[in-house]
Amino acid sequence: MNNKGLKWKSLLFIIGFFYILTSQVYAQDQAVADSLAKTYHEDKLNGIQKLELLKNLAFNEINDSELAIRYANELIELSLLENNMAYLYSGHLQKGNKYLNLGEIEEALINFFKCVEISNISNDIPDLGTAYMAVADAYAAMRTYSNAESYYDKAIKLLRQTQDTIALASALLNAGDTYLNNEKPLEALKYFDESGLLFKKLNYQTGLAYNLGNVGIANAILGSDIEAENNINEAVKILETQKNYAPISIYLTYISDIYVSKGNLPKAFEYAQTSLDLAQKYRLKQQISDANLKLSQLHELVGNQEAAYKHYKDYITFRDSVKNIETVQKIADLRTEREVSQKQAEVDLLTQKRKTQRILVYATLLALFLIGLLALGLFKRNRYVRATNKIIAAEKERSDNLLLNILPEETAQELKDNGRVEAKRFDSVTVLFTDFKGFTHYAEHLSPEELVSTVDFYFSKFDDIIEKYGLEKIKTVGDAYMCAGGLPFPTEDHAAKMVMAAKDIVEFVHNEKNNAQDSETRFDIRVGINTGPVVAGVVGSKKFAYDIWGDTVNIASRMESCSEPGKINISEHTYLLVKDKFNCNFRGNIEVKNRGQLKMYFVDGLIKTI
């Protein structure tokens, strides 16, 4: 066997234990997880506090990866219910890290790519950089070095754009680790040098420990055994204070390699056996496998073939077992046994029966617990759905009100029902136009803000007057105001209502001019009215506008342009409809551009008794 033993294979799994929680500087700490577990079992937290608790539990639970995955799964479920993308990202990141620790790389990648998807949606550069780093870690564990190096490059480029120094240092450390596993120790040391400086500057002990351990391994590959041993021993001291045993077990096998190269086999055996004991104590499957391989190699070196075979068999057993180590061990033991007494078989059967009963009890309790969780989740989800429906209903009401502010109610309903509005002909509609005298002159001397404020002041009052008489505002163009009566529902008295509205508008403008302060800008107004047939409909497919067309509209516009300040000028068609209700003065036949001569009337201030 190769004297260097594992060929640096185990180093891949050091990365699996080097995580970052957020941009804050946190180190994994099993003691923290044990302390938080008490709060978790009290089950008194909700909302953000519960999410934060689960995140910290999943991160700090070092010794039991399957328990950490359960915390991560609960964090993911609760994040979905709370619609919290940040904690959802953290849940998938910690779940992927724990699967990577267990050697289930496919599951790890699924969760890491989910992190990439979430951070792209939220446009979070630091999170995206961390997600790329996690993907690279998984590819490194698969020994797909080209993919790993590519994703590390992406991660480092993104993280250099952020203030997240610890994430950048982590990416540099793991990238160097990949070069180390790809037998490029000199290139790896370049990355370790930069990451080591960053960890030391931050006084981040966990990162510093991993960095020292990896530097030690690189030195061991390069033949600098004394430096390597010192680096690794320093790393182990830091990790022991944090009870982070998985990397300690790995580093101990490398110290064993160093002593093999020195020819000190007793020391090599001592470190390899310590590594195995530690891995077995904390059920670290990958480390158990690696330590057995190291001991097998050492026993082979001294000619102890029986012991070498036993450790090699255990190495194969743990290497091939990912999900159920105990079962595989039992099968391996049964294959080596030649005779089993009938009595022992009965005892084993009884023991297995009791185990099965216990399993059924535990499974039943677990099922009840999961059903409770499901019921709680459904309750919270139902509450969330109800709250969401209220928001949707409020937004729908708001959008309906906005639509009604743009279109007549009947037209708005037709648009919602059919997606379009059919143009309609109305045989008798009264159209009004207003225009301010001298507006262009005043506009040249007013600021844009003052101009808009002044026009809004008048038009807001016009809107109130039009609404008062049940008329329909059509549009405004500059200082021109246009409205109509007799649509969208035909009425008999639309002409009279329009004249009444016009009188209110003229009176309002007149009063405002008389009461205006010296600093305020006030105008005179001209009003023109005409009655006749029009076609009405909605223009365009975006920013809908309700409008009317026809010769009636054109003549109404001409009535306004031929009017005088403070006067209401009406056409003969309108006059015939209102002459019994209003006193009107015939102005004669007046020449109109492109129309020839038209009869026009001024409505005076008197209203006939109806």
Q: What angle do CA 48, 50, 51 make, to 5 degrees?
A: 60
Q: How far apart are CA 126 and CA 168, in angstroms?
A: 9
Strand pairing category for 525-539 and 568-571: parallel
Q: Is residue 20 a contact partner of residue 131, using CB atoms and an 8 Å limit? A: no
Per the document, the length of the chain is 610
* Strand intervals (E) in 172-271: none
- In sequence order, which residues have a C-beta less than 8 Å from that of residue 365 and are 6 or more positions away? none
Q: What CA–CA distances, in Å, run from 444 to 314, 441, 448, 451, 522?
A: 93, 6, 9, 9, 14
Q: Give me the half-sphere count of Cα atoms (radius 13 Å) on the Cβ side of residue 133.
A: 32
pTM above 0.85, yes or no: no
CB neighbours of residue 249 within 10 Å: 27
Residues lower than pLDDT 70 in the chain: 1-28, 320-353, 393-421, 517-521, 540-544, 605-610
Task: Write down the pLDDT at residue 119.
Answer: 93
Q: What CA–CA distances, in Å, run from 259 to 243, 379, 401, 561, 585?
A: 25, 61, 82, 106, 120
Please provide the CATH number assigned to the domain covering 423-607.
3.30.70.1230
State which H helix or E strand residue 570 sits in.
strand 568-571
Tokens 């096998």 map to which residue? Answer: 253
Name the residue ranges covered by the structural domains of the chain.
423-607
SS3 of 99-162: the string is HHHHCCHHHHHHHHHHHHHHHHHHCCHHHHHHHHHHHHHHHHHCCCHHHHHHHHHHHHHHHCCC
Query: Dihedrals φ, ψ of 465, to 5°?
Result: -65, -45
Asked if the bond preceding 266 is cis, omega within 30° of 0, the reply is no
Q: C-alpha dihedral over 186, 189, 194, 198, to 10 degrees? A: 180
Q: What average pLDDT does the chain have?
A: 81
